[in-house]
Amino acid sequence: MWLAQEVIRRKRDGKVLDEADIGQFVKGIGDGSLSEGQIAAFAMAVLLKGMSLDERIALTTAMRDSGQVLAWELPGPVVDKHSTGGVGDLVSLVLAPLLAACGCYVPMISGRGLGHTGGTLDKLDSVPGYCTQPDPERLRRVVAEVGCAIIGQTADLAPADKRLYAIRDVTGTVESIDLITASILSKKLAAGLDVLVMDVKVGNGAFMSDPEQARALAESIVAVANGAGVKTRALITDMNQPLARSAGNALEVEEAIALLKGEVRSSRLWEVTLALAEETLVAAGLAPDLASARQRLMDAWRSGLALQRFSRMVEALGGPLDLAEHPWQHLPQAAVVRPVFAEGEGLVQGIDTRAIGLAVIALGGGRRRPEDAIDVSVGFSELTLPGEAVDAARPLAMVHARDVASAEEAARLLRAAYRLGTAEVAVRDLISARL
């Protein structure tokens, strides 16, 4: 007779669970036969005692199989990317159409903002009419015809993860690398991928500020995903400053469009995007090496093919056809837009990136509670980055706010996030590891 409490006890005592026990436990999470207390106890036992690689693979695949697993019949590789999140991280909006223009098919399942980090779905909510929850047939049609579709998780994909995550969130077990790995990958693997590339952020604007923790997570994800049959690579990238020049939903969509049109406002944003795309093309067998992959990506960008894919995706999912040509005719704009000047002058020495994300939330551009509605028009644009000068003529950024009072409060928070000085600033390594 199978007993959940025996599985919990064995993991509590540091024993290795077999695949059948893990599968049965995940089945109980998904069908509701296990209580919240049992699930919480299991999560805490995993947090404290850890899991072997085989256990992680078994947990991930069982959670993947707790709902629908998509299957594709397409003439090219099915690929996706996942980021652990940051501030100004709009990579997905550029990466998906760029990869589609190079022969990939990208059913990109994205999330909403979490804590101080922005969410790709919240950004796309600023596009009038864009449907982030299409029915399965529409998703299949858009991916097949356009090559990419950026959407949200449906209730049918990895439902066991949804229940487990909600319990982890209130029981102090979110930090388990074993459970983080299974949570991320169960949803991604349910999308029927051939290739996955991970962007694990590290720094003061990332969820993981410790480089050793970030590397441990990246290694875990690569090992488990490859063990589950999906070719997976990971980059560990710097998040000690905003990735883009903007932070805020509509503002980031406009910057993504500008980048697809050829305007590189943040060289770091473009470099991370290209690096992730290179790894994807090589893993997918569409380029023999990183240099060849970069040339193919640059050709797709310069020719406008990537921009065309973005426009077709937006239209196919209900948005305006001419969004790329006239973004500010469609994207919502804040009522108050004004510069934020520093109290002194000098070179930007460093930025508390997390504080900028929190300032966007204070403006109304993020959630304090899961059920909160957000104002997609607010945020910051033209952010000054480390090594650049600010003075009476060059502001730290432009603040976009719903009213004067919130603009002033956000300006105060932004000033506090910047550290100025006179020393030349060393350029940080953008990519610290490729796995």
Question: What mean pLDDT comes out for the span 273-290?
Answer: 98
pTM of the model: 0.91
pLDDT of residue 156: 81
Rounded to the nearest 5 degrees, what angle is found at the Cα of 384, between the Cα atoms of 382 and 387?
150
Phi, psi of 403 (to 5 degrees): -155, 170
Contacts of 195 (CB under 8 A, 6+ apart): 77, 78, 79, 80, 230, 231, 232, 280, 283, 284
Give the integer Cα–Cα distance in Å for 371 and 61: 30
Give the CA angle between residues 74, 78, 79 to the nearest 5°: 160
Please report which confidence band the pLDDT of residue 369 belongs to, taking 50, 70 and 90 as the band edges. Answer: low
The predicted structure's pLDDT at residue 373: 80
Helix pair 305-316, 91-100: axis angle to 10 deg? 110
| pLDDT score for 366 | 79
pLDDT tens digits, 140-166: 999 999 999 999 877 688 899 989 988
- What domains lie within the chain, and their CATH numbers? 4-50 (1.20.970.10), 79-316 (3.40.1030.10), 333-421 (3.90.1170.30)
Q: Across all residues in the chain, what is the average pLDDT?
A: 93
Residue 288 confidence (pLDDT):
98
Give pLDDT, residue 318: 97
pLDDT at 118: 66
CB 217 within 8 A of CB 254: no
The tens digit of pLDDT for each residue in 215-240 reads 999 999 999 999 999 999 999 999 99
Tokens 């009213």: give the residue.
403
Strand partners, 81: 197
Q: pLDDT at position 270, please?
A: 98
**What distances in angstroms separate CA 259 from CA 113, 119, 230, 287, 324, one per listed residue?**
22, 19, 30, 23, 11
pLDDT tens digits, residue range 69-108? 989 999 999 999 999 888 999 999 999 999 999 999 999 9
Q: Which residues belong to the active site?
A: 80-83, 120, 168, 183, 187-188
| Torsion angle, alpha carbons of 328, 334, 337, 342, to 10 | -110
- Predicted pLDDT of residue 117: 64
Three-state DSSP class for 327?
helix
Q: Is the pLDDT confidence value at 371 over 70? A: no
273, β-bridge pairs: none
**Span 180-217, pLDDT tens digits:** 999 989 988 998 999 999 999 999 888 778 899 899 99
Whether residue 370 is predicted with pLDDT greater than 70 in this model: the reply is: no
**pLDDT given for residue 49 in this prediction:** 96
Q: What is the pLDDT of residues 289-310, one digit of tens each?
A: 999 999 999 999 999 999 999 9
Query: Which residues have CB under 8 Å from 273's CB, separation 6+?
Result: 91, 94, 95, 98, 259
Instruction: List pLDDT tens digits, range 21-69.
Output: 999 999 999 999 999 999 999 999 999 999 999 999 999 999 999 998 9
User: Is the confidence at residue 395, as pLDDT, over 90?
Assistant: yes
pLDDT at 347 over 70: yes
